[in-house]
Structure 1
Amino acid sequence: MVKQRARLIYNPSSGKEMMRQQLPEILDIFDSAGLETTCHMTKNSDDTVEAAKRAAEEAYDLVIAAGGDGTVNEVVNGLSPFEVRPLLGILPAGTSNDLSRALGLPRDLKEAARRITDLQYKPLDVGQVNDRFFINIAGCGRITEITYEVPSRMKTALGQLAYYMKGLEKIPQLGAIHLEIEAASFGFSGKAMLCLICNSNRVGGFENIAPDANLADGLFDVMVVKQASIPDMIRLATQALRGEHVHNERVLYFQTEWLKVTSKEKVELNLDGEYGGTLPKEFRVLKHHLQVVV
């Protein structure tokens, strides 16, 4: 029997360094299941992307991203340019783990590793923005800058609490930005608090930010929040906890497979929790571009 070849790419500082602590047991689970696994410990984002590229070039059957949504994003950016792409596996060792939760993966790393050995998979859409890729969320607006402004050491020490602390610090800066959005059946020009381009229903721990989102339907779910006061934004966040925000008069919500977002000012883009450059940007869905082990 020919063994399946797996490449485990792991971020040692993700979450509270859970992956570093449990690595020997996880490798034993893979070995016992007949997965011939080699490891790569990431050093920075470019290193992670390159490690995934090498795995695709060397025709690995499976590439496992162990870390948070940022690590998964980097692995996806390494795999996506290739014509033939390995299966994607995920070990949710990060702070929010939005994608893995949307996929229904176990939060326990050893249980997630056992699921991977079953090699049951399903198709997964990938978002493309210019020459980069994202798997869960692209967003712009002052509040979306929180995730990549939180230092890694703070996330390691405090977990999700680090984002809440940064959010409180950001409240006085939550002003509106100018956005122009063009899509096949939608247009917007004006001031907005944020724009979220979602592939899944989960963003920043909120379970129903995009209630109609589906990871394999070939569509983005886009939410635009029009200019609002700070009290209105706090009220909107409360509604978002219950999935009721899409009925708010300040929220525009639509689905599309393509859109272009521009601005008259400098606006930064967040891709799966990481800095993604500045507008203007063009977004499109690559339907069923990857196969993810579930």
Structure 2
Amino acid sequence: MYEKAMLIYNGNAGSNDIATLLSEAVAGLSQHITEFTLMKTNERGDTERLCRERGEHFDLVIIMGGDGTVHEAVNGLIHLERSPSIFILPTGTCNDFARALNIPLKVKQACEAFKEATVQPLDIGLVNERAFSNFFGLGLITRASEGTNDDLKSSIGKFSYFLSAIQSLQTAESFSYSLQLDGKTVQDEAVMILAMNGSFLGTTNLYHEQTKLDDGKLELYIIREAGLALLKNLFNKARSPEWPGEMEGIEFIQAASLQLETSPIEDIDIDGEIYLETPTRLSLKQKALPFLVCKEEK
């Protein structure tokens, strides 16, 4: 039972039936909460501000929204002396971090799963003083995200990411990078660099057998080239819960921190939000925020 909880919902995003979703959320969760506060956001930055200014007044913060809303919440809560527990009610397009926490993607089912969810302190990534819960990326992934039409995203959801990614594969350009890691410097070229804290990207399960959400390590993927080699790797991964033993053109590294420079300067995508650029220092704050994690369905 939680004494005080704040539910933050994005009135401008995703679903057109926000009243129904709110009704389901309140009906499903209120029996576990003594004092329940609903807060509507109207513009970008509201979720981060509410979490930063009011987070410590609550035992539980419920984030109803997609990956962008979760991203804002994490940045608002990460610097608090005492963070409340965090529960995600997924109502976005991909809901990638919610997937990593085994949270059902329907609000009613998520509320049911809440009853047996357990609180686990999870790692949070840091880049240029900003936080991310799920991923850091540049190169091909950033261009795919920038190419996603907002109207298309609203109408056909995650399929729009697929269309944009295929288009980006056809026009992928490599960049030079300098990576400082474990006391050594590596210089080479790539079409994409991806650092995962979670295990889903665009609804695709990128789970690696070494992946954990609280081990203090990021999973770093350096993709050398696009085209058929990359498509083959992704196809094989989509068919299997494990990464192929041989990943042609992809280097896998685990790291707690690294420094990265690129030429030319590259835009950075964190949790689907693009507002930073290289050079950057990337690190992980271990067991930084307490999330409610649901039982994995068998």
In 1, Cα distance between equivalents of 2:247 and 2:33 = 52
SS of alignment partner, residue 173 of structure 2: coil
For 1:141, the aligned partner's letter is G
* Equivalent residues of 1:55, 1:63 under 8 A apart: no
In 2, the alpha carbon distance for the partners of 1:33 and 1:123 equals 21
The question of 1:130 aligning with 2:128 is answered: yes
Cα separation, partners in 2 of 1:202 and 1:141, compared to 1, 3 Å: same
The answer (yes or no) to whether the contact 1:123–1:290 under 8 Å persists in 2 is: yes
Separation in 2, partners of 1:137, 1:208? 11
For 1:168, the equivalent position in structure 2 comes to 166
Change beyond 3 A, Cα 1:253–1:168? closer
List, as ranges, runs of 4+ consecutive aligned residues in structure 1 with deviation greater than 6 Å: none
Indicate the residue corresponding to 1:255 in structure 2: 254
Question: CA contact under 8 A between 1:213 and 1:221: conserved in structure 2?
Answer: yes
Question: After the TM superposition, which residues 47-86 of structure 1 pair with which residues of structure 2 at under 5 Å, given as runs?
Answer: 47-57=46-56, 59-86=57-84
TM-score (norm 1): 0.90
Distance 1:209 1:280, change over 3 A: farther
| Alpha-carbon offset, residue 209 of structure 1 | 5.2
The percent of aligned pairs where both chains have the same amino acid is 26
CA distance in 2: counterparts of 1:188 and 1:97, whole angstroms: 34
Taking a change above 3 Å as real, the CA distance of residues 56 and 141 of structure 1, as seen in their structure-2 partners, is same
93-102 or 43-52: which moved more?
Answer: 43-52
Are 2:265 and 2:279, in contact at CA under 8 Å, matched by a contact in 1?
no
**Structure 1 residues 235, 11: CA separation in 2 closer, same or farther (over 3 Å shift)?**
same
| Corresponding residue for residue 232 of structure 1 | 229
- 8 Å CA contact 1:268–1:275 kept in 2: the answer is yes
Change (3 A) 1:215 1:3: closer
Structure 1 position 208 matched with structure 2 position 221: no
**Contact conserved, 2:158 with 2:202, CA < 8 A, in 1?**
no
Aligned positions, number: 291
Q: Return the alpha-carbon distance in structure 1 between the equivalents of residues 146 and 44 of structure 2.
A: 12
Paired position in structure 1 for 2:26: 27
Mapping of residues 139-288 of structure 1, within 5 Å? 139-184=137-182, 187-208=185-206, 210-226=208-224, 228-241=225-238, 242=240, 243-245=242-244, 247-288=246-287
Residue 79 of structure 1 aligns with an amino acid whose one-letter code is: L
Counterpart Cα distance in 1 of 2:90 and 2:200: 14
Relative to the length of structure 2, the TM-score reads 0.89
- Given that 2:5 and 2:33 are in contact with CA atoms closer than 8 Å, whether structure 1 keeps it comes out as no
The answer to whether the Cα contact below 8 Å between 1:246 and 1:252 also exists between their aligned partners in 2 is: no
Asked whether the 8 Å contact 1:126–1:286 carries over to 2, the reply is yes
1:164 counterpart SS class: helix
DSSP-derived class of the 1:45 partner? coil
- Work out the CA distance in 1 between the residues paired with 2:163 and 2:132: 26
Unaligned runs of 5+ in 1: none
2:169 maps to amino acid:
I
2: distance between equivalents of 1:25 and 1:172? 43
